[in-house]
Structure 1
Amino acid sequence: MIVLSSLGLTGCIGCYNPNGCGRDASPYFYTTTTTHVRHLIVPSQSKLTYKLMDSKQIDQQYKALDERNLTEIELAPNTAMIWGGMPVTTFLQFFNSEFKGFTAYRVVDAAPAINNEFAQLWKSCDDRLDVLLKDPNDWSFNPKNMEITGCGVNIQKRSQYNDHWPNQDKADAFLIKINQALQKQPKQQNYPIVILSSK
């Protein structure tokens, strides 16, 4: 009886979505041509995912929906975009709507495409980079619009939730350093697409 209870509890712990853990019915669209979205140009077969706004618009759509409701850009399979000097495959809007920004996911173990201090710092911490935006509709690499607020789980901007973490002083120092390196970078004009070798 105790074992069964433990298994039941384990099954409940795996879901962290406050909206419930049923199947995700968010509408999505696969681009059919090179597409301009959130100040980026994404290749054909990239997946654009949107907030669920209408119960009639669920799952796969056959035309792009309102860009204001975009929550995720996942580049076409085996492709990455050079963004901030690193090959990036996914941009995911912050779940908490109080924060305007996204997380950029770079290719794990990839060398920087552009060797600068910013890209080296990003590579040194994690594959995920949290970016707070002044203009939440501009996901381009535009340092004047950006503040780096996190890099992976262990490096996060100080808040009431992590003020007691033992390594928070180091995280603060890292974020100051990466934001200083960010502000030395120019606004990126082109976003080359690279083909990733499938393993």
Structure 2
Amino acid sequence: MEAKKIFIIIGIIILIVIGFFYAYLKALGSAWVTNKPDKRPFFVTTKPIIIKNILLPEGTKIIYNKKYFWEKYEQKELLNEKDITSVFLKEGTTINWGGVPITSIVKFFNSEMKGFSVYPDFDKLNENKKTQFSNLWLSCNTDLGITVENTNDWSFNKTNILDVESCGVNNQRYFKEDKNQQRFLDDLYNELMIIKD
């Protein structure tokens, strides 16, 4: 009889240990999954809302950098604005940034750089609204890297914009010795400063 009780107790202990081990692996696995960029928490706007000083339309996907495994992927409400890494407008939708229709804004990956990249949709730019700034931007036809003073302001606020950091991979401030790249970015910045808000 005593041996039977011991086997039952050992069996219960083993089941409890297996249960804890399973829960631990499940939580750890979820943490790994949410650390993938496409599994980060996000919120989709249900009405127009101002985020980072920009009026975002309904259907905009706001992605956050939080990576805690207990957070669900799609959030039911907005998280902390400082944790936003990108905003993606609903397909077919654009907003105006410096006179250019844009589809998304993405915070610089390098945390030491204060700024973001702006992604244009030049197919939606009216001919009569083209400027020297939009023409220069169109000539590299890719994202524009912008350095700013206040990282909580992603709007076309010229008092906050410090520089044009890049226009795609072919024009970057990083390549200081390349005078053509530097001149092109200087021209872009100067023309940006002329645009009316």
Normalised by the size of structure 1, how large is the TM-score? 0.75
Taking the aligned partners of 1:22 and 1:142, their CA distance within structure 2 comes to: 32
Between structure 1 and structure 2, the one with the greater Rg is: 2
Q: Percent identity?
A: 31
Q: Is the 8 A contact 1:25 1:52 kept in 2?
A: no
Question: Shift of the alpha carbon at 1:83?
Answer: 1.0
2:130 paired with 1:115 = yes
Match of 2:94 in 1: 80
| Structure 1: runs of 5 or more not aligned | 1-20, 189-199
Question: Shift of the alpha carbon at 1:103?
Answer: 0.4
Match of 2:16 in 1: none
Q: Is the 8 A contact 2:101 2:122 kept in 1?
A: no
What is the one-letter code of the residue matched to 1:100?
Answer: K
Q: Is the 8 A contact 1:87 1:110 kept in 2?
A: yes
Taking the aligned partners of 2:165 and 2:126, their CA distance within structure 1 comes to: 20
2:143 paired with 1:128 = yes
2:163 paired with 1:153 = no
What is the one-letter code of the residue matched to 2:194?
Answer: K
Aligned residues: 162
Normalised by the size of structure 2, how large is the TM-score? 0.76
Q: Which runs of 4+ in 1 moved over 4 A?
A: none
2:59 paired with 1:45 = yes
| Structure 2: runs of 5 or more not aligned | 1-34
Question: Shift of the alpha carbon at 1:53?
Answer: 4.5
What is the one-letter code of the residue matched to 2:49?
Answer: T
Question: Shift of the alpha carbon at 1:185?
Answer: 2.1
Question: Shift of the alpha carbon at 1:108?
Answer: 4.7
